[in-house]
Structure 1
Amino acid sequence: MLAEINTFLNDLIWGSILIYVLPILGIFFTVSSRFVQFRYFFKMFHILRETAHDKDGHISSFQALMLSVAGRVGGGNIAGVAVAITLGGAGSVFWMWVIGLVGMATSFFECSLAQLYKEKDGLDSGVYRGGPAYYATKALGQRWLGVIISVLLMITFGFAFNATQSFIISTSFEATFDIPTWISGIVLTIVFGLTIFGGVKRIARMSEVIVPVMAGSYLLIALVVIILNIGEIPGLINMIVTEAFNPSSAIGGGIGAVILQGAKRGMFSNEAGLGSAPNVAAVAYVGHPVQQGIVQSFSVFIDTIILCSCTAFIILLSGVYTPGAQGVQGVLLTQNALIEQVGPLGGYFVTIALFLFGFSSMIYNYYLAENSLNFFSKGNKTAFNIFKVICIALIIWGSFQDLGSIFSFADLSMGLLAVINMTVIALLYKPVLQLIKGYERQVKEGKVPVLRYNDYNEFKIDKAIWKEIVDNINDKKS
């Protein structure tokens, strides 16, 4: 009975609410901001160049971006895209692109808000904290809402998703290398434990190393496949666009199924609007919230437009996919497609990629849960250490469990989190528009933008934090 209720609620939230709310609000944010994700797309590179190192012990904008990409990029890029193509055909890739481009605006809004309303970490004075729980509490004055958001984040990311990632990695290694799951689980637990006990800065540094290697390797193998089939690329892109509006008769459900699968996989993969990325965005040391909003919107682009497209091209160029066929799907379809293109080593590559994607997601998931704990504990070291031990125990436990029901429950809690977060962002869109205007005004004046915090008295921000940041930046300029 509980399973049926869980399934019903999941179908209701994801299939009847978020499937419409996320793209509609994404379009609203895009239009109201005058397509901010496109206007400032190339400025992102300038921002990263300026903040590619630690700022007086704080986490840089680049490190925050890598930590965010670590979470967005995961199994959804390898297995999720394959599921979308299996159920929605090649045309689903087009709608995945659309939802990614629109989601960039949503991510910009939620991450700019996280920066604006961030606060100092009671546990480590060198780290900031923020996210949906913080801006819902400060901006709306509703602490109960912040408590609900924090609990949902802890359950979803800290417990369920990390145990699930452990299960996926361990079983993948067993299938490919014949390594028992308990051995993989122990090794994974040790590496994970060493990482999280090093604090937020070590987590950021680990992501700074893993993510470029992970994403770069996957992009490289995709480029190899594309080069080997370069003559087919124009026809493939034409097929994707054509199938998006006129799907093959072999695809059950017609154009509705194509749009649904592309949108769902895009949303699951890039997490725009789900309330997870803002927790990371708040950590970065930047002079103006818009700067990190621009950078974080780029992480959606990396995830959906670049890496999801890599998987789609690998599958569609391989010839192993047959429209309407329901046999092999998920990670096996991606694995078979790569084996077809580059030989048996392709299968090993997918397993290693899953490990890197999965482990980086575990680091990210833990950080989200720790950030939620900080909302309650305000830097209590004992609470943090107990929490770390529980998270570590769940990693080794997850390596030999069947986590289907837990993962389903996590989907439900994440869906509830997304509904709450999107509602809060919609209520707080005006502060973001004011941030954009203030940022653009300073750019036109030829100045390096910093937050003029006295212009935001009505929004209940922590002026002390922003005064410290702005004064420090001005001192260095002078």
Structure 2
Amino acid sequence: MALLESLFGLIGDLTWGFALIPLLVVFGIFISALTGFVQFRFFKRMFRVLTGDNEAADPNAISARQALLISVGGRVGGGNIAGVAVAITLGGPGAVFWMWAIALIGMATSLVECSLAQLFKRRQPDGDFRGGPARSIIHGLGADYRWLAILYAVCLIASFALGFNAFQGNTVAGAVQDSMGVPRLYTGILLAVISAVIVFGGIHRIAQVADVVVPVMASLYILMALLIIVMNIFALPGVLWTIVSNAFGLEEAVSGGMGAAIAQGLRRGLFSNEAGLGSAPNVAATADVRHPVSQGITQSLSVFIDTIFICSCTAFVILLGDVYQPGAEGVDGVVLTQQSLVSHLGAWTQYFLSGMILLFAFSSIIYNYYLGENALTVITKTPAAVMVLRVVVIAIVFLGATAPGATAVFFFSDPMMGILAVVNLVALMMLLPIAIRMLRDFRAQLAAGVQRPVLDPDDYADLDIDRTAWTKPAPSAAAPGASPAPAE
């Protein structure tokens, strides 16, 4: 066991410890520049999915909005509450600025990786779609790279479906026990039972649950933070100045100064929004949309919601309170967030926070499970394998909740996610010309007055795409004499 821990520790050092975060940042900047900063060009268009403009043509299919909410539910987890607090404790208030910066850059990366997942998705016998980086590698790079897709799939199962689900169970059970005194066993049973009901229903039940749970949990948390901001509105300019000044070293809140702020902000932002890690594209590919870039734009919104909205809520709750003391030790993580809430609104908020953690963790569990299921179908087509995975995931959630010490055996999670991210970035670099080609097609249709661009499979006949996954409805062009639609 000690040898294995040393081996995975070395893998973690070689990925997260040295090169991966700078590589994700540099690659995100490169993609932003090469695509003409699509995250800003299409910013207004991202919100169309919330109005129902991108509903699936088939009412039984997964819509763009449902795929968005599944991915938001997965990205938003305990890290948005505890992780942000840790970043502020270790990196100072300036970490929040760099967290925002990496989110804006990551929106472009997410758009590209999710658009590629959409392009290379496959229609299944039941009519649903499956896709993601593994299938993008197989069908975009060719059968010679299947080994790379298998490596990706194994890492995805190990890190998300197994390791991170154990930690999610552990996080929520610990928070409920600390705030309400509920034994871990009862929380573990509740999580396992609810998770079983959802995951055994497949992607459609997961989508239906996410369609309800995610808007509720996000809205409640944002409203609570807005209430605190309004209560402390006159202190807000000072907090914003503190964030910016610490970010650029004009003030030093912790040892390490600007360097610590950058390191912690980038790390928390990347871990939270997952842009470039290759996880969200698995869900993005399930949506029934007219053009791959359309869903890529939608998925960029999930990065924005996760970091700019949810993470910022936690940051302002902490920084507008008096519990956090720069440079002080002993209070961090979920405890710092919890005590800050209590200082603002009273003791009842510790129960509110426990409820939020439960919802955040639950949405992450079902998301993590689907990532594992989708990866498993790349490795084997045996239906029994999926059933085994479902049972194993439920058991791991229960184990993580009831036996907190057991999560120590999942020391491989972060290193495996590091390999996952490296594989995904390599594939993205190789497939980037195809993504640029799709973006040009999308922009050309918008410039021609097409309100909702449509992918014509004939334009991509040289690629190994599933033509049955793309119908060709009549494009909704502008009326005669009307001016072309703006490429917002």
TM-score surpassing 0.5? yes
- Listed as ranges, the matches of 1:192-341 within 5 Å are 192-246=195-249, 248-341=251-344
Counterpart code for 1:454: D
4+ long deviations beyond 6 Å = none
Distance in 2 (CA, whole Å) between partners of 1:50 and 1:471 is 15
The corresponding residue for 1:105 is 108
Shift of 1:316: 0.3
The corresponding residue for 1:94 is 97
Counterpart code for 1:453: P
Shift of 1:247: 5.3
Q: 2:466 aligns with which of 455, 462, 468?
A: 462
CA gap of 1:406–1:38, structure 2 versus 1, over 3 A, is farther
Counterpart code for 2:128: V
Cα deviation code 1:263-317 (max 9, x no counterpart): 0000000000111000000000100000000000010000011111111000000
Distance in 2 (CA, whole Å) between partners of 1:58 and 1:419 is 32
Unaligned runs of 5+ in 1: none
| Maintained 8 Å contact 1:245/1:255 | yes
Distance in 1 (CA, whole Å) between partners of 2:252 and 2:117 is 45
Shift of 1:416: 0.7
Distance in 1 (CA, whole Å) between partners of 2:475 and 2:161 is 35
The corresponding residue for 1:382 is 384
Counterpart code for 1:135: S
Shift of 1:72: 0.5
CA gap of 1:222–1:54, structure 2 versus 1, over 3 A, is farther
Shift of 1:438: 0.4
CA gap of 1:204–1:473, structure 2 versus 1, over 3 A, is farther
Cα deviation code 1:40-65 (max 9, x no counterpart): 11112224422346733110000000
Shift of 1:248: 3.8
Identity over aligned residues, as a percent? Answer: 47
Unaligned runs of 5+ in 2: 477-488
Distance in 1 (CA, whole Å) between partners of 2:385 and 2:474 is 32
Moved more, 67-76 or 250-259: 250-259
Cα deviation code 1:124-143 (max 9, x no counterpart): x2210000100011111111
| Maintained 8 Å contact 1:248/1:323 | no
The corresponding residue for 1:449 is 453
Shift of 1:389: 1.6
| Maintained 8 Å contact 1:93/1:312 | yes
Please give the secondary structure, in 2, of the residue aligned with 1:22: helix
TM-score between the two structures when normalised by the length of structure 1: 0.95
Counterpart code for 1:456: Y
Moved more, 343-352 or 96-105: 343-352
Shift of 1:408: 3.2
Shift of 1:194: 0.6
| Maintained 8 Å contact 2:246/2:257 | no
The corresponding residue for 1:140 is 141
Shift of 1:4: 3.5
Counterpart code for 1:262: G
Q: Which has the higher helix share?
A: 1
Please give the secondary structure, in 2, of the residue aligned with 1:470: coil
Q: 2:364 aligns with which of 347, 361, 365?
A: 361
Q: 1:17 aligns with which of 16, 19, 24?
A: 19
| Maintained 8 Å contact 2:139/2:464 | yes
Cα deviation code 1:380-419 (max 9, x no counterpart): 4322222212222222222222145344310111111001
Cα deviation code 1:128-167 (max 9, x no counterpart): 0000100011111111111111111111111111122112
Q: 1:391 aligns with which of 390, 393, 396?
A: 393
Please give the secondary structure, in 1, of the residue aligned with 2:18: helix
Please give the secondary structure, in 1, of the residue aligned with 2:288: coil
Shift of 1:471: 4.5
Shift of 1:464: 2.8
Distance in 1 (CA, whole Å) between partners of 2:180 and 2:56 is 38
| Maintained 8 Å contact 2:400/2:407 | no
Shift of 1:230: 0.5
| Maintained 8 Å contact 1:13/1:415 | yes
Distance in 2 (CA, whole Å) between partners of 1:318 and 1:407 is 35
Establish whether residue 416 from structure 1 lines up as the match of residue 419 from structure 2. yes
| Maintained 8 Å contact 1:131/1:282 | yes
| Maintained 8 Å contact 2:252/2:258 | no
Establish whether residue 118 from structure 1 lines up as the match of residue 118 from structure 2. no
Distance in 2 (CA, whole Å) between partners of 1:196 and 1:470 is 33
Counterpart code for 2:29: I
Distance in 1 (CA, whole Å) between partners of 2:455 and 2:385 is 34
Moved more, 287-296 or 166-175: 166-175
The corresponding residue for 2:30 is 28
Counterpart code for 2:161: G
TM-score between the two structures when normalised by the length of structure 2: 0.93
Shift of 1:182: 1.2
Shift of 1:177: 1.6
Establish whether residue 438 from structure 1 lines up as the match of residue 421 from structure 2. no
Q: How many pairs align?
A: 469
The corresponding residue for 1:79 is 82
Counterpart code for 2:34: S
Counterpart code for 2:127: G
CA gap of 1:158–1:304, structure 2 versus 1, over 3 A, is same
| Maintained 8 Å contact 1:79/1:330 | yes
